[in-house]
Homo-oligomer: A and B are copies of this chain.
Amino acid sequence: MSKKLEIMPLGGMGEVTKNMFAYETENEILIIDCGIGFPDYTMLGVDILLPDISYLEDKKDKIVGILLTHAHDDHIAGLPYILPKLPQIPVYGSKLTIGFAKDRCKETTITPEFIEIDKQEFSIGNFRIKPIPVTHSVPDGRHFVIHTPAGVVYHGSDFKFDEHPVDGVVSDYDSMKTAGDAGIDLLLSDSLRSERGGRTISESMLKETFQKEIKNTKGKFIVTVMSSNLHRIQQAIDVAEENNRKVAFVGRSIEQNIKTAESLGFIRLPHNILHKRKINKLPPHQVCVIIAGSQGQVGSSLERAAKNDHDLVSINPNDKVVFATEPIPGNEVFLYDAIDNISKLGVEIAYPDIRDETLHVSGHGNADELMRLVDLTKPKYIMPIGGAYRHMVQYKKLAIKLGYEKDRILILDTGDTLLLENGQAKMGKKIKLKDVIVDGSGVGDVGFVVLDDRRRMAESGIVVVVVLINKTTGKIIGQPEVISRGFVYMKNAKKLVNIISQKTTQILPKSIGKNQWSKLKPVIEKSLQNLIYKEIQRSPLILPVVREV
């Protein structure tokens, strides 16, 4: 029997987030990453999205472990939701990645076995794995060379090639080359920044920026940054210390990450950290605040401070606020709202649009870096990952320029899989993938019917029509009652409500037979739909309530 490996993205293909891959051989399944995704505008009220593990349902016994590439939430934060649905399997990752993964699982009842790996080759079941350190916007990330019965796969998740990383740990090019020389059948590679030519700027440039910004700041120096970007936080801390300012951390995500990172040796804190409750006890020019909410998220520490609504952080005219960040697509409105609100406080603000200095660099490699990984690993086949469809298309163009044949680069869409067999890769079977939705404490209990109803009510509200029927005579009792929410102002609504009520009376029979009332509902729904659209060009959800008494 021939040796086969099937690679199945269970989330994340063409979506950037909620990354999860299943590597399946005849007897085993290795899972790589277990991330969350973020809802778009159409998914009303949804908190987060999860990969869909239904494919694993009847194959759970084959699963030998979960391997994590790096510590970002779109690669690890699905664990507390997904692990309880799988048999007890070990979770592998680098020191910081495991540290953050443990934090994510802290408030749950699960107690997975976490296994720290570093650079040495190790095995999960029959998968022999060589971890390769790479630079990214969170420290301690890894690529993996995965030896499978069907061939060698290089799993190249999110990375950049930063030659001057803040922690000094340069990507391990030698190991990449060694693996390439030994033969790679398939490269999975980050493709997010394939549209941009050249190389990304080194993260270490940010230090100079902070130095420039802190000069002449008479009040507090307030920096906002992604809470997992420990390199950038480290540089802000260092610059604050050099300028005799004490550093306070504000915001749950930043406080948590700093605590874990420090205990694991991934961040160096100065001796006198300022407790957030003591920010106002020091003269402002001795204070640096590193605050969460760099995307202007509603409810975040920064967003509240910007509206003068944070009990610990006030932003005053001599302060300076530095946005060492860039909006993630979809967040522009929130981020710029925060900037506008802070502008109104009369303080100086630094944000990318008004600075030539580098206030943000990407954690993902540009075209040159992406192709350098191809050069080093010399794979027979390539499957771009980690980007939207357009990014994978651009990646493919780059690889073709490098000399690859078209059919050596496989672009997968949601539900596609890849088959590696005897060192040859091709498109595999299709699998069904749905969005798994987390809303409040419910997982998967909000489906598309529910979301459609929400969309409808969000657009035009709801109209409830209550009809009572005498259960002995079958006669309609009195006038139908009409109640609306999110529809029109009540004072304007009176006329409309009367029309709706009259119309309902008209279409209702005087009396109906026993147990026939359920047939009334679709009739009421349809005629009111038409009536209301004609009257006011809106399509609220119509909810007929028919009861026998």
Contact = CB atoms under 8 A, between A and B. Distances in A.
Contacts of A547: 466, 468, 481
Contacts of A487: 450
Nearest to A349: B390
State the 9 A-B residue pairs at the shortest beta-carbon distance, nearest first: A440-B537, A458-B458, A453-B486, A454-B486, A45-B459, A457-B457, A440-B538, A44-B458, A445-B492
A462 B450 contact: no
A376 interface: no
A229 interface: no
Contacts of A390: 336, 339-340, 343, 349
A333 B388 CA distance: 12
A537 to B, nearest CB: 3
Interface in A528-549: 536-538, 541, 543, 545, 547, 549
Contact of A489 (B344, B446, B458): B446
Interface string A440-472: 111001110111011111111110101010000
A333 B461 contact: no
A466 B544 CA distance: 12
A1 interface: no
Interface string A30-74: 000000000011001100000000000000000000000000000
A332 interface: yes
Contacts of A457: 454, 457-458, 461-462, 485-486
B461 A450 contact: yes
A389 interface: yes
Interface of A: 14, 40-41, 44-45, 195-196, 329-330, 332-333, 336, 339-341, 343-344, 349, 353-354, 388-390, 393-394, 413, 439-442, 445-447, 449-451, 453-462, 464, 466, 468, 477-478, 481, 483, 485-490, 492-493, 536-538, 541, 543, 545, 547, 549
Nearest to A532: B440
Contacts of A449: 489-490
Q: Among A196, A353, A458, which residue has the most Cβ atoms of chain B within 10 A? A: A458
Contacts of A394: 354
A14 to B, nearest CB: 7
A333 to B, nearest CB: 5
A189 B349 CA distance: 23
Nearest to A454: B486
Given A343-B393, A457-B457, A488-B450, A483 B445 contact: no
B439 A538 contact: yes
Given A390-B343, A462-B462, A488 B538 contact: no
A40 B340 CA distance: 15
Contacts of A329: 332-333, 336
Contacts of A486: 44-45, 450-451, 453-454, 456-457
A333 B466 contact: no
A545 B543 contact: no
A411 B333 CA distance: 21
A279 to B, nearest CB: 25
B543 A464 contact: yes
A121 to B, nearest CB: 38
A174 B486 CA distance: 54
Given A41-B333, A329-B336, A440-B538, A545 B483 contact: yes
Contacts of A541: 485
Contacts of A341: 389
Nearest to A397: B354
Contacts of A41: 41, 333
Contacts of A456: 486
